[in-house]
Chain A
Amino acid sequence: MQALVIVAHGSHLNPDSAQPTYDHADTIRKTGAFDEVREGFWKEEPHFREVIRTVESDEVFVVPLFISEGYFTEQVIPRELRLEGWDPDLWESDGTDATEVTLEVGDAEKTVHYCGPVGTHDAMTDVIVKRAETVTDDPDVGPGFGLAVVGHGTERNENSAKAIEHHTERIREMDRFDEMRALYMDEEPEVDDVTDYFESEDVVVVPLFVADGFHTQEDIPEDMGLTDDYRTGWDVPGIVDGQRIWYAGAVGTEPLMADVILERAVDAGADVGDALEQVESWTSERPAAGD
């Protein structure tokens, strides 16, 4: 028997924070690829601390629904899951390469395949592009458009920027959008000046965040000048300095994210049958969560 455990941050204050985790877990459940699919949280229940013991399977694939490697993936999650013998060096990563490490846990007789975060997986690049398609409602969006991938910045860890750069570079190589930019909330180049960085009349802005919340629903739209007061909402597209800004909201709400979670588990050796194809076929039809 194999189980998938998706671990995410969650929130004591905002009930929507966990929604993408539940949505993607439900999608994966529907594929039947795992005997059990569970969610575990830092700020909600079941806590990271207790989630492994709720699983009956001997083999557990743990996928962090986090954007970058850093404090959570390297310290908090392994510690709270009681991963025995954990050391960040086991991932042999310089910030975006973590794939998998197999360890035992201290409180149950289980083998845990601890995967790298979803945010750094190559498949995430496709989710960002997909997000641009979803928000513009155009499967061929690209020519005539600029695309900005927005990250938090270096405030909490340096790898956050690396993940943003990684995907920005990969999309640039696709040669699909006229212009590509990595922008940040806390460092240069800043998302506040989004229109300074693009010449295209249309710019899609995709924040590389797991869930919609304070940053993606309040800060970023106001900082960009899309709205004076987030409570009154904003248009998509909205006009800023004469350019059309297609603000996508958190990429983590895109249904195709379920695919990245599965990819992580597959890279770690999970047998998921045709689940990847199933998820891709479903998510190409469905509107994004939260839209």
Chain B
Amino acid sequence: MEATGWRVADEVLEAFLETVLETDEDDQPVIDFDGLVAERLADGSTYRLETSTTTVEIEASTVANATERSMDELRQSLEPIGPFVTNWYVWERTVGGRETARRAFLRWCEGAPLDDPKVETVASKTDTSDVLDRYDALESGVVRHWGELQITTRLATEDGGCTGTGTGTGTGAGERVYEIRHVQDADATDETLEDHDDPRDAREIVTYDADGRYRPLKTAPTLVAGWRFAGLSGDDLVETVRTIYPATVANWHREQCGDLDVDHWLETAERQTGIYDVIDELPRETLEWLTEACCVDSQCLKRREWEYAADDPIDTDPGDGVFPCREPCSLVIAAARKWAILESEEEKTWELELTTTEMNQLAEIVDAVADGRVDEIREADVYDGANRYRARYLRAKRMDDGSLGEGATNR
């Protein structure tokens, strides 16, 4: 990226000089952040500001007695390292919160390596530690996916919009601006989407699926599309994500730091009381079915990290989600209660009068319900076993009072 032409904003300049002036003379760099090192030379006469490509030296006396004119000079001398200075300002002053999930998430959003000392792997493949490369990418927008969300990070411009024109200067404060939309709307033009800027609007969006049904599991892959949150600050971005996928940022951050606390099935089940007390009686082998029913990507975007017990893994594919699931959720617990009760029933042998096609039809109906395909079956598609007329015919022919009744006998 062309680093010239950067006019470092006043507040950045002031904060930067203030910090540099605080240097004592123990030879420690006063700033050592994202590739920018600022230190005072041993003789005290000069400050040296160094990046991988550029070194700027400033006389200490100019910094100490800055007048309005010398401020302009200082601003000019900082131009070549403008992106580094504003980048420092954004992370250390605007975002702050070292070692917080919020900061880690915002860094992840723009592909910056996580600067949390607890994070062991410093950079993933997509992370760009070079600030100039990153600013280049921020010009056109860094895109990341979080569940069904597409998050785009850009540099803010004077008018509160985003860059993208290649001027490279932004507001001179390095401020980031974020946009969130549904991944399905990746190619939608802005005007076709419903605009929001208040994170709390997301509550409405997450409550119902496209058919107007309540979504008790926020990580179900049924988030409706057709909206966008534009012009968000970092705090508002995190708040919006928090509303759409509660606690995912916190748990992901713990995972990045290598201290995600996983509660496996057995611990979680044994902890339950009241009406959920029974779930620890659910047989071990049913856990495969339970996770297949609830925790696969088609039903939940979280990546299941819990097993039956630490030394007893579940075979079901845990999913590919970016955020981890650290213990069975309340929905799974509630369903498990039902299954614990059902699994305590004894199996019996039944005798049932059905044609082969009717028997197959039962399987087709179960399939259609389990895959949520019922609404897609066309009215006149009588070739589909789960077609409504086919099901009604079967009921009329074989069922009494809503059960397989007369035809089925228990032997």
Which A residues are within 8 Å of any B CB, using their own CB?
Answer: 11-15, 22, 26, 42-47, 49-51, 53-54, 56, 71, 75-76, 79, 107
Contacts and interface: CB of A to CB of B under 8 A. Distances in A.
Contacts of B219: 45
B242 A54 contact: yes
B251 interface: yes
A50 B254 contact: no
Interface stretch (B29-37, B141-149, B329-337): B329-337
Interface of B: 97, 100-102, 200, 203, 207-208, 214, 216-219, 242, 246-247, 249-251, 254, 261, 271, 273-274, 326-327, 329-331, 334
A79 B101 CA distance: 24
Contact of B246 (A11, A26, A46): A46
Given A56-B100, A79-B271, A46 B247 contact: yes
Given A22-B203, A43-B216, A54-B242, A12 B247 contact: no
Contacts, number: 59
A79 B102 CA distance: 26
Nearest to A43: B330
Q: B100, B214, B330: which has the most chain A beta carbons within 10 Å?
A: B330
| Chain B CB within 10 Å, residue with most, of A45, A56, A107 | A45
Cβ-closest 3 pairs across A and B: A46-B246, A50-B247, A45-B246
Contacts of A15: 207-208, 214
A162 B249 CA distance: 41
B216 A13 contact: yes
Contact of A54 (B247, B273, B327, B334): B247
A79 to B, nearest CB: 7
Contacts of B326: 50
A50 B247 CA distance: 6
A50 B251 contact: yes
Nearest to B263: A49
B97 A56 contact: yes
A45 B274 contact: no
A14 B214 contact: yes
Contacts of A54: 101, 242, 246-247, 249-250
Given A14-B214, A54-B242, A56-B100, A47 B334 contact: no
A53 B216 contact: no
Contact of B250 (A50, A71, A79): A50
Contacts of B261: 107
A31 to B, nearest CB: 16
B254 A26 contact: no
